[in-house]
Structure 1
Amino acid sequence: MVKPYDKQFKLAAVQYYSEHKNLGLKGCAKNLGVSYQTLSRWKKELRESRVIHPRGSGNYSSDLAKENARLKCQLRNTEEVLDVLKKAINILGN
């Protein structure tokens, strides 16, 4: 599951890296509790556009998009449960 990080945390993480380059990107990422790829992406976004775009499960363009994502997740979970029940019926039926 993706952890949502706010814009302020992302900016602070990139700032931390710029102040502790001796640790390297991997060392800074480990100290901050994020993956190397995540910190690298934030650094690249900030360098290219001077803006870090918010991402994560809590960032939707509208309430409709949020509800749509919730319903898709619910449908996926329901389908998984149904598959498990079908397998159980086949096993118990034999």
Structure 2
Amino acid sequence: MGTKNSRHYTTEFKQDAVNYYHSSGKSMAKVAEELQVSQASINNWIQNAKKNEGTVSDRGAGNYASDEAKEIAQLKKELRDAQAAIDILKKAMSILND
């Protein structure tokens, strides 16, 4: 059939879409049509905003519970990468010193 059109929308765009929906008095379908997004996307953003006191939250890739959790995961990955690099350098030094 067709290919799925996967587009990433900025948090600002999502928030503007939710604000527009609430202020326009238009149906969700009409707002989705005007903004050229799916009605399901508009609905998801509205539900997200309801859960977050009117603000659309964008957890980003990985679906972390918060920005702090995402940052911690990123820092842990960087630490693992740095430790691996140090281990490689230690092995290389021991080979050169032999």
> What is the TM-score normalised by the length of structure 2?
0.52
Instruction: Give the helix-richer structure, 1 or 2.
Output: 1
For residues 36 and 43 of structure 2, what CA distance do their matches in structure 1 show? Answer: 13
The answer as to whether partners of 1:25 and 1:40 remain within 8 angstroms in 2 is yes
The answer as to whether partners of 1:11 and 1:52 remain within 8 angstroms in 2 is yes
Matching of residue 43 in structure 1 with residue 46 in structure 2: yes
Give the drift of 1:52: 2.1
Partner secondary structure for residue 53 of structure 1: coil
Point out the structure with max Rg over C-alpha: 2
The equivalent residue for 1:11 is: 15
Q: Which amino acid aligns with 2:57?
A: H
**Higher relative contact order by CA 8 Å / sep ≥ 6: 1 or 2?**
1
> What is the TM-score normalised by the length of structure 1?
0.54
The answer as to whether partners of 1:42 and 1:52 remain within 8 angstroms in 2 is yes
Q: Runs of 4+ in structure 1 displaced over 6 angstroms? A: none
- 1:1-94 to structure 2, matched below 5 A, reads 1-21=5-25, 23-50=26-53, 51-54=55-58, 59-60=60-61, 61=70, 62=74
Identity of aligned residues (%): 22
For residues 42 and 31 of structure 1, what CA distance do their matches in structure 2 show? Answer: 16
- 1:74-93 deviations in whole A, cap 9, x for unaligned? xxxxxxxxxxxxxxxxxxxx
- 1:35-56 deviations in whole A, cap 9, x for unaligned? 101000100100112342336x
Aligned residues: 60
What runs of 5+ residues in structure 1 fail to find an aligned partner? Answer: 65-94
What runs of 5+ residues in structure 2 fail to find an aligned partner? Answer: 62-69, 78-98
